[in-house]
Amino acid sequence: MAGVAGRRRAGTTGAGTLGDRPGPGGAVGYLNETLVHGFDLALAIGQDAEADPELAATALAMAPQVVPAEPRGGHVPFGPVLAARAGAGATERLAAWSGRGLAGGQGS
């Protein structure tokens, strides 16, 4: 356990759903998880689902590297990439990349 903690402190690895990632990739992965699940929760309770635009844009820019478009499903816990609505904010586009659409069938 001390070895894993040491590597994480050094920023060299981060274990996650998709396996070990370099420190920055792991951090962006956690940011992606937080924003996408926050998006889900906000939609579920009828709140604005857009997070801080700069954070969401950062996660969106890194998303294809952290969660590639293929493969999806099975051992990779993401649905297929969806199209975001025209004019969607960065959080909604990140959610669409992560396989999430809007409630009511929007997003395809």
The answer to whether the pTM exceeds 0.75 is no
Q: Tell me the CA distances in angstroms from 98 to 2, 7, 61, 77, 106, one per residue in order.
A: 33, 28, 13, 9, 15
Structural domains of the chain, count: 1
Would residue 92 count as lying in a domain? Answer: yes
Would residue 49 count as lying in a domain? Answer: yes
Burial 31-49 (b: 16+ CB within 10 A, else e): bbbebbebbeeebeeeeeb
pLDDT tens digits for range 47-60: 999 999 999 999 99
pLDDT band at 21 (very low <50, low <70, confident <90, very high): low
Would residue 108 count as lying in a domain? Answer: no
Indicate whether 12 pLDDT > 60. no
Would residue 71 count as lying in a domain? Answer: yes
